[in-house]
Amino acid sequence: MKRIAIVGAGAVGLYYGARLALNGEDVSFLLRSDYEAVEEQGIRLESVHGDAVLKPVKAFRTAEEIGPVDLIIVAWKATANDLFESVLPPLCHEETQLLTLQNGLGNCERLAEIVGPERVMGGLCFVCLNRLSEGFVKHTAGGKVTIGDWLAPPAGSKAEELVRRFKSANIPAEFSDDLKTAQWRKLVWNTPFNGLSIAEGGVTTDRLLADPETKSEIRAVMGDVIRAARALGCEIDPAVVDFEIDRTKGMDAYRPSSMIDYVEGREVEFDAIWAEPLRQAKLAGADVPHMEALASRIQERLRERR
């Protein structure tokens, strides 16, 4: 059987790791603050796709204790990526594959520097997951994971095989043969909603949509993201703007992951979700004034918080 390690076992890592383990996969979790609770109570999922408990859990405090695995799933915030160089080597053998489920841009590139681009995959999670207490994840909406290879393989996609394993574990998943476009497609949501939830001082998505001014800003930022993607050769249908706004209405008072980090005083994934997309947009010559203004407002909020 193939061994899997979850690096960053928060909302996303606990949820997908537990689903895979419940389907018989050999999953080890690298845990920090949740270690004791998970050892005692296991991982508990309350989910629109069915509640579940994983117990016992293969729980570890260090990568060295886990040892080499066949697949590493990275699900910590991009703000922890500087630790890749120390955490990943003990988990790798010569063919270990890596899947990042992180939001934003720049994560695959960091992994590719360590193991080479052909072993890296990216997954975009169109899902609402919150870790409500240690080892306990609530999954309130959505569920699809779009998985693609960072470097299009000459034959036999690793990502396609992984999609099959995710689906068999009760995780809706689809394969993308264009990971870069899929990443920008995900940013169409994260850039405005995660961003304005911080820029407006820590507010939920229902409040952003209830205010005509912020709602119109959401549309404008989404337009910029789609324009930036196009300048980089990634075509996104502008109809996704209405689709995403309607989908978000169904999430009620949702707290985007970056907004939770902001209100709880933790580091925010600013580089991955705003700075790097903006840098790439400008390099490609895209006119993105709303993305730019939003990034400045977030920086201002983060400065005030210090």
Ligand X SMILES: NC(=O)C1=CN([C@@H]2O[C@H](COP(=O)(O)OP(=O)(O)OC[C@H]3O[C@@H](n4cnc5c(N)ncnc54)[C@H](OP(=O)(O)O)[C@@H]3O)[C@@H](O)[C@H]2O)C=CC1
Ligand Y SMILES: CC(C)(CO)C(=O)C(=O)O
Give dist(CA 83, CA 272) in Å, integer: 15
- For residue 189, the partner it binds in ligand Y, ligand X, none, with Cβ less than 5 to 8 A by kind, is ligand Y
Binding site for ligand X (CB under 6 A): 8-13, 30, 32-33, 75-78, 80, 83, 101-103, 125, 127-129, 131, 257, 269
291 binds ligand Y (CB under 6 A): no
Tokens 């000459």, residue located: 154
> Residues 126, 165, 219, 240: which binds ligand Y (CB under 6 A)?
126
Residue 192 interaction partner, one of ligand Y, ligand X, none, beta carbon < 5-8 Å per kind: none
For ligand Y, the nearest residue by Cβ is 257
- DSSP assignment of 32-61: STTHHHHHHH-EEEEETT--EEE-S-EEES
Which residue, 44 or 139, is less far from ligand Y as judged by CB? 139
Q: Which of 73, 257, 272, 276 binds ligand Y (CB under 6 A)?
A: 257
Q: Kindly state the smallest distance separating residue 154's Cβ from ligand X, in Å.
A: 30
Task: Give the count of alpha carbons within 13 A of 212, CB side only.
Answer: 0
Residue 32: CB minimum distance to ligand X, A: 3
Residue listed under structure tokens 């169904």: 250
Buried residues in 85-103 as b, exposed as e (16+ CB within 10 A)? eebbeebbeeebbbbbbbb
Helix (H) or strand (E) holding 73: strand 69-74
Which is closer to ligand X, CB of 23 or CB of 130?
130
Q: Is 180 a catalytic residue?
A: no
Which residues, 145 to 204, sit near ligand Y by CB under 6 A? 189-190, 194
**Residue 68 DSSP SS3:** coil
How far is Cα 10 from Cα 119, in angstroms, rounded to an integer?
24
**Cα distance from N-terminal residue to C-terminal residue, the chain:** 47
Catalytic residue among 77, 186, 249, 282: 186
Chosen residue from 67, 68, 90, 142 binding ligand Y by CB under 6 A = 142
Q: Which residues are catalytic?
A: 186
Q: List interacting residues with ligand Y (CB under 6 A).
A: 103, 126-128, 142, 189-190, 194, 256-257
